[in-house]
Chain A
Amino acid sequence: MKRMNYYINGIGIISPQRTFNNDEFLSEVAQYDDNHLNCVTPEFKEYINPIQLRRLSRMLRAGLSAAVISVRDSKINAPDGIITGTGYGFLTDTGKFLTEIYDYKEKQLTPTFFMQSTYNALAGLVALTFKCKGYNNTYVNKGFAFETSLHDAMMQLEKKASQTLLVGGYDERDDAQYRIHLRSLYYKTKPINNLHLFEHKTVGTLQGEAAAFFAVSDEASDQTWCRLVDLKMTFLPESKESLFINLTRFLSANGVSVNDIDFFVNGMSGDVKNDALLESLAQDELKNIAEVRFKHLCGEYCTASSFGLWLAASILKKQQIPAIVRFNQINAQSPIKTVLIINQYMGRNYSFVLLKSAH
């Protein structure tokens, strides 16, 4: 990849924590005791006109609001293109349409549930809202969905500079999916408190959800949160050693060594089985680096790395690491300049994202 600079110039995120107001930074922490974490939502009417609002599902409301917040935060009028990523899309409306197919024997069904269940419904809605006729794409590959979107944005900026692309990640929590995925022990079978996620050392994780949007440009602005240096995905690494080799290659390709990292964001999900590689990395190769975790705050979902990106960008912008996300005793050097996010999903999709402070 060519070496262009990419900047995150605006963020909007609606998650199980109170994250929709960019002036706050985890000053209150929401707790959950039933293994699923729901979005803490703002007054949607501050972002969506009332006629439109009535027609939209809960997650489309959250998604569109997050997009509007990110655009306002970036102080641009409208984005030049929109790329979204999601693992499972709009599960509630998908479930409603499936249920109608069963219950009404395929007769007299509600078209809205079908229309609002398509994976690109949010990217289309955001385009419609901002009258954005430019590039528009949606990626849906499980734990790579958000990363691919971010990577595509970088490639689009390489092709055409002086643009701002809106990159979003969203996934919706759903009861039917919770029940289905309990079969494969993907979620924890006993209820726990989310803030104690990493103490249990059992299989399964917590079900989360969120919608996050990032205004990504090749030009910095007064609003810049941080610089997005590069990212890389690894599917099914054979071992921790091969994952670490990939990591060091990724870092050196960007002129960075492990010792340059001021803190790393660890995308462990609290599932003792799927976390094995990242836990081992944290205890071994990365043990001298300040460690931050986030899935106890947002739960696990395919695009949870977007919450990790928000967290890392916030720390870089505010130069402050909240105690609730710190997971070892090492203090990050001040000023905080270089951040690595390592995420895993299902122990299959691994990604690295490298960030630097804006200036």
Chain B
Amino acid sequence: MSQRVFVTGYGIITSIGNGAKQNFQSLINRKTGYGQLEILETVHRNEIPGCEIKYTDQQLAELAGVDVAEGFTRTALLGVIAAREAITMAGLTNEVLNTAAILSATTTGGIRELEKYYYELQDQSKHGEFDSFVDTGNPGEHTERISELFGIKGYVGTVSTACSSSANTIMMGADLIKNGTVDVAICGGAEALSKFTLNGFNTLLILDREQCRPFDKTRTGLNLGEGAAYLVLESEDGVKRSGKKIIAEVLGYGNTNDAFHQTASSPDGAGALQAMQTALDAGNVSPSKISYVNAHGTATENNDLSEGLALEKLFAGTVPPFSSTKPYTGHTLAAAGGIEAVFCMMAFQNNVIFPSINFTQQMDELTISPQKDLMQNVSLRYILSNSFGFGGNASSLLFASVDQ
């Protein structure tokens, strides 16, 4: 018998707050992390805004309870902070952690430190604070740091499928629990802003200088953000044994590729549609039962058109409330799927649907529009959370509330 998989805890740090409480308050008060970049050293500071966490690496290290001189990259620091909150909320003991899985996602890992010290590191005659950052170019490095720090030794994995990465860690964590490899999986992602990604997205001409406007006719691109989030997934048997409170069930998931273009989604949303359909089929839930969709909604021309059309097709006339939380946190790339899954958990716990801000003008190609105002006292049964990315990667997660 395949195990059911439940969420028992989560942790989060983004530009709208350190920890679950601050993030929730920001979401219901329409407070965004958008603004001028002040910590990342880049020539684009005055020109390209983003959603930056206003802590220096030193301050983050203090929050994380580690020494930055030991070579913790900003990505690793964000990961440690979010993982610690998740572990605490779920009440995981050292014994449980020892056999648990840590699955983390990132698109760049410690490239922020690599880009800072790229030439110094190559020069054998030079020594300095960069000495401890010798392996920061590796995306798995931050996951191994988290594993070692918390003693999570059951399974160590890192995913990198661009912007759908951390949604895929949740799928893999659920698969590992279902087939009995582990009982507990800590899944999510961590992503620090870097010159590499800022300039990369800038060359693709998809960075909006204004606040991003998902599903709006005037949208011209995304704002980049940084952050980390992890969910603790546990097996049905484990939760029964511990009597732990369940936040929600991971009911289904779909991972597809729309095999259309190296960096763009197919304009008709074929990949997005197939991912959502696969998630619904896996959970045996019909589209009409969905209470809310947390959209990928990056506010690029391409994504919102393709995702919007996929939503119209899937829900055939009766699209449930949907919103994008990207204007709050920015697009946190590999961390986005984890961060938005955490927001879905908050929605379940507080019976709310977070509003999509910055929407004013209806898109010509769509008949649907995102939820503009905060909805309270809503009964949420099933939530879909979408994450799509470069390389045609499309992932959708189906969460269900649990009667206890």
Q: Which residues of A contact B (CB under 8 A)?
A: 1-2, 82, 87-89, 91, 94, 97-99, 101-102, 105-107, 109-111, 114-115, 117-121, 123-125, 127-128, 130-142, 144-145, 148, 152, 155, 158-159, 176-177, 179-184, 233, 235-236, 348
Q: Which residues of B contact A348 (CB under 8 A)?
A: 144
Q: Pull 15 A–B residue pairs with CB atoms less than 8 Å apart, ordered by A.
A: A1-B180, A1-B181, A97-B196, A109-B199, A114-B204, A117-B200, A118-B160, A118-B162, A118-B390, A120-B393, A124-B257, A134-B256, A139-B157, A179-B124, A180-B122
Check: B375 CB closer than 8 A to any chain A CB. no
A135 to B256, CA, bound (A): 5
Per-residue interface assignment for chain B, residues 150 to 190, with 1 indicating a CB less than 8 Å from any chain A CB and 0 otherwise:
00010111111110000010001001100111000000000
Q: Which residues of B contact A109 (CB under 8 A)?
A: 199-200, 202-203
Check: B241 CB closer than 8 A to any chain A CB. no
A145 to B392, CA, bound (A): 21
Per-residue interface assignment for chain B, residues 90 to 106, with 1 indicating a CB less than 8 Å from any chain A CB and 0 otherwise:
00000000000000001
Check: B360 CB closer than 8 A to any chain A CB. no
Q: Identify the closest chain B residue to A189 (Cβ).
A: B124
Q: Which residues of A contact B160 (CB under 8 A)?
A: 89, 118-120, 138-140
Q: Which residues of A contact B143 (CB under 8 A)?
A: 141
Q: Do A181 and B134 touch (CB < 8 A)?
A: yes
Q: Do A132 and B134 touch (CB < 8 A)?
A: no
A101: min CB distance to chain B, Å: 6
Check: B55 CB closer than 8 A to any chain A CB. no
Check: B312 CB closer than 8 A to any chain A CB. no
B42: min CB distance to chain A, Å: 6
Of the residues A101, A134, A152, A182, contact of B195 by C-beta under 8 Å: A101
A88 to B124, CA, bound (A): 21
Number of interface residues of B (CB under 8 A): 66
Q: Do B179 and A144 touch (CB < 8 A)?
A: no
Q: Do B122 and A121 touch (CB < 8 A)?
A: no
Check: B118 CB closer than 8 A to any chain A CB. yes
Of the residues B44, B107, B392, contact of A128 by C-beta under 8 Å: B392
A118 to B134, CA, bound (A): 20
Q: Do B147 and A235 touch (CB < 8 A)?
A: yes
Q: Which residues of A contact B179 (CB under 8 A)?
A: 1-2, 155, 158
Check: B141 CB closer than 8 A to any chain A CB. yes
Q: Which residues of B contact A82 (CB under 8 A)?
A: 257
Check: B332 CB closer than 8 A to any chain A CB. no
Q: Do B203 and A123 touch (CB < 8 A)?
A: no
Q: Which residues of B contact A158 (CB under 8 A)?
A: 179
A181 to B179, CA, bound (A): 38
B207: min CB distance to chain A, Å: 12
A177 to B203, CA, bound (A): 25
A109 to B262, CA, bound (A): 18
Per-residue interface assignment for chain B, residues 256 to 267, with 1 indicating a CB less than 8 Å from any chain A CB and 0 otherwise:
111111110000
Of the residues B115, B159, B261, B270, contact of A138 by C-beta under 8 Å: B159
Q: Identify the closest chain A residue to B114 (Cβ).
A: A98
The 4 closest A-B CB pairs, nearest first, are: A124-B391, A114-B200, A141-B140, A136-B257
Question: Given A82-B257, A114-B204, A101–B139 Cβ distance below 8 Å?
Answer: no
Q: Do B259 and A132 touch (CB < 8 A)?
A: yes
Check: B137 CB closer than 8 A to any chain A CB. yes
A198 to B392, CA, bound (A): 43
Q: Do A101 and B199 touch (CB < 8 A)?
A: yes
Q: Which residues of A contact B106 (CB under 8 A)?
A: 140
Q: Do B255 and A183 touch (CB < 8 A)?
A: no
Q: Identify the closest chain B residue to A110 (Cβ).
A: B203
Q: Do A139 and B158 touch (CB < 8 A)?
A: yes
Check: B121 CB closer than 8 A to any chain A CB. yes
A345: min CB distance to chain B, Å: 10
A119 to B181, CA, bound (A): 26
Check: B57 CB closer than 8 A to any chain A CB. no
A78 to B392, CA, bound (A): 17
Check: B43 CB closer than 8 A to any chain A CB. yes
Q: Which residues of B contact A120 (CB under 8 A)?
A: 160-162, 389-391, 393
Check: B135 CB closer than 8 A to any chain A CB. yes
Q: Do A131 and B391 touch (CB < 8 A)?
A: no
